Structure 1
C-alpha cells in the first residue's frame, strides 16, 4: 500500500499560545469531556449499587464488559484512525458511547444484560477515541507547542478526577441516576462533535491491506524506536505492580494500620494533586535529557509501595503518593509528546493504540494477580517486589537506544 502524506499549511512565524488557539481549545474541550464521561460512569454505577438498583455482581459484570469493549476497540480504533480521518473516528466513537448511555439508563433496575451490552459499546467508544485523540493532537498543534498542549489536557483530566466525586455526589442528591447517565451521554456527544478537523490528513493510494496487516505495520513502526519499546515495557510493569498495589493493598493498610478509611481518601487526593503539580511543572520544563528525566519520574512510583510497606505516619504515605503523582505526569507528558514527534504520522494512531493496549489494558491483569499473591506470600513481600519493579524497570529502560531524549538516533 502506498501512502501519501499531505503536508499541512506552514505555520505562521509566531504561532499563538496554545491556550489561545481556537482549534486546540476545541480539542481540549472534547478530550476533557471524554475523560469526565469515562471517569463518571463507574462512580454513577456505584451509586446505583447503593441505591439497590444494581447488584454488586451486576456492577462487576457491567464494568467487565466495558473493559472488554475498550480492549477490543483500541487496536481497531488505531487502524481506523490511520486509515480514515482522525476526526471521523473521534466522531464515530463519541457517538457510539453517547448512544450507549441512554441504553444504560433504560436497563438500570430492569436488565443487567442490557446494561452490560451498552457498557461494552461505551467501552468500545472510549477505546477507539483514545488513539484517535492522540493522533489528532499532532495534527491540530504544531510540534513546538505539543508538550504544553499535552500538559493542558492532563491538567483538565486530573482536575476532573479531583473535583468530580463531590460534584457527582451532590448532583445525585437532586437528580435521579437516570438523569446522571443521560448527562454522561451528553458529555460523549460533546466529545464527538466539538473537536476540530485535523491538518495533514493521510491519504491512501491504491488497494488497502487487511486489518491485521495494517496493525502489523504499526508494530513494525514501533520496533523502529527502541526507546518506545523499552519505555512501554517499563510503563506496563509500573502500572501492573505499583498501580495494582495501590488498588489492592492501600485500602487494607488504611483500615488495618491507621484504623480509618480517611487515609485512603487523603492518599488518592494527594496522588491527584501531585499529578496536577507534575503537569504544571512539565508544561514549561525542558530538561537536557528529557527521556531520562521522564523515566526518573516514572520510577518515583516506587515511593508508593515503599510507604505502604513501612510503619510510618499517614502523612508520609500521603507525601509518597504526591511524589508518585508528580512523577507519573513528568513521564506521561514528554512520553506522549515524543510519540507524536517521532512516529511516522500515517502510523501514529496504531502506535498509540499499542501504548494504551499494553500499559492500561493490562492493568486489570495486575489487579487480578496482586490479591492472590498477597494471600499466598503476604503483603510485605508483594510490596517489596512492586517497589523493586517500579524502580528497576525505568532504570533498565533508560539503557535503551534513544532513551536519553526519547528520540531515534540519527544514522
Structure 2
C-alpha cells in the first residue's frame, strides 16, 4: 500500500493529524511539570478541545458529504494549524485565549475525522481498504508507543511553546498533503438545512442494524473499559503495587498488542468477520478484570496486551465495513455519528467513573466494567447482519 502514491499521501496526512491530536495533551502535561500551566488550566484547555471536537464532528460529516472531502480536510487542518500557535501565545498568560484556541483545534480535529474516513473510500479501492485501514492504525500505534520518549527528549532542547508550535506544522501536513479523492460521495452542494442533512445520515445508519449494534457495543466498551484504564489503573498501580511501573507497563503492553493486532488484521480475512471483530472488542474486558485481584504485574501486562490486540481486530474491520456498506454519498455523516457517539461521549464515562468508585468501591466498578465489556459485544453479535457486518 505504501508504494501507492495517493494512498501514501493520505496515510501521511492522517498520521500527521493523529500525531498532532495525541501530542498536544502530553506536551501541555510537560507545561504543568514546569509550572507554566496549572493542572486546573490543563483541564480547562483539554475540556475546550473536547467541546470543539464534539461540536464539529457532525458538522464535518455534513460538509464532507455536501462538498469535497478533500476540501473539508484542507480547511479543518488549516483551522487547527492557525489556532495552535495561539495556544503557545496564551501559555502562562491568557487562559481564555488558550481555551478558545484549543476549542478551534478540537473543531479542526473533529471535522477532519469523518472526512478522512470518506476520503479513504475514494482513494483506495474496496479490496485493499482493510489493508489500508490497518496501515493507518499501525502508524497511530507506533507514534503512541514512541511519541512520549521522543517528546520528552525534544523537551530537553525545545521549550513547551516550541513543541506546541511543532504540532501546528503537523496540522499543516494533514491539511496540505492528502490527495484529491474520486467522484464518489457528496458533491451535490444541496442547500438543505444542516439538521435535515444530518438526520438523513442517521436514517442511512438505521438501514444497517449491524452498525447500530456495533456502535452501541463500542460506545459501552469505551465508556467502561477505557474509563477503568484511565482512572482506576493509576490508582491500582499506586496503591496495590506501590509503583508507577505497572501503569507504564500496562499501557505499553496495550499499545504493543494494538500493533500486533493491526499487523494481523491487515492479512486476516475471517469468513465471519463481524463476529471476529466483536469478539476482539470483547477482549477489552480482560483489562478491568485483571485489576480486580492482587495478581502478579505480569498478569496485568498480559491482559492489556490481549485488550490491545482485540481492539484493532475490531477497529480495522469496523472502519472497512462502514466504507463498504454505507451509501457513498452519506458515508461521512455515518462516520461522524460513529465518532460522535463512541469517542465523543468517552468523557462522560471518565467523569462518572471516579464518583462511581467513591460510591460503590473499586471492586464493584471494575467488575461492572468487565461485565459490560463482555456482554455488550455478545449482544451486538445477535443482531441480524452482525456476522459479516453486511
- What TM-score, normalized by structure 2, do the two folds share? 0.99
Alignment partners' CA distance in 1, 2:364 and 2:17: 38
CA contact (8 A) 1:244 1:370 kept: yes
CA contact (8 A) 1:235 1:298 kept: yes
1:388 corresponds in structure 2 to: 371
Alignment partners' CA distance in 1, 2:190 and 2:290: 56
How far apart are residue 202 of structure 1 and its match? Answer: 3.7
1:273 to 256, 277, 281: 256
Judging changes above 3 Å, is the alpha-carbon distance between structure 1 residues 203 and 86 closer, same or farther for their aligned structure 2 residues? closer
2:3 corresponds in structure 1 to: 20
1:79 to 40, 62, 81: 62
Judging changes above 3 Å, is the alpha-carbon distance between structure 1 residues 207 and 245 closer, same or farther for their aligned structure 2 residues? closer
Alignment of 1:72-221 (within 5 A): 72-202=55-185, 208-221=191-204
Judging changes above 3 Å, is the alpha-carbon distance between structure 1 residues 379 and 203 closer, same or farther for their aligned structure 2 residues? closer
Alignment of 1:252-401 (within 5 A): 252-401=235-384
1:133-160 superposed Cα distances (whole Å, 9 cap, x missing partner): 0000000000000000000000000100
Alignment partners' CA distance in 2, 1:207 and 1:32: 31
Count of matched residue positions in the alignment of Structure 1 and Structure 2: 390
1:263-301 superposed Cα distances (whole Å, 9 cap, x missing partner): 100000000000000000000000010000000000000
1:112-145 superposed Cα distances (whole Å, 9 cap, x missing partner): 1100000000000000000000000000000000
Judging changes above 3 Å, is the alpha-carbon distance between structure 1 residues 372 and 21 closer, same or farther for their aligned structure 2 residues? same
Partner SS state of residue 265, structure 2: helix
Alignment partners' CA distance in 2, 1:245 and 1:266: 16
CA contact (8 A) 1:85 1:201 kept: no
How far apart are residue 208 of structure 1 and its match? Answer: 2.6
Q: State the Cα RMSD in Å.
A: 0.9
1:359-386 superposed Cα distances (whole Å, 9 cap, x missing partner): 0111110011110011011010111111
How far apart are residue 52 of structure 1 and its match? Answer: 1.1
Does residue 17 of structure 2 align to residue 50 of structure 1?
no
CA contact (8 A) 1:301 1:327 kept: yes
- What TM-score, normalized by structure 1, do the two folds share? 0.94
How far apart are residue 204 of structure 1 and its match? Answer: 5.1
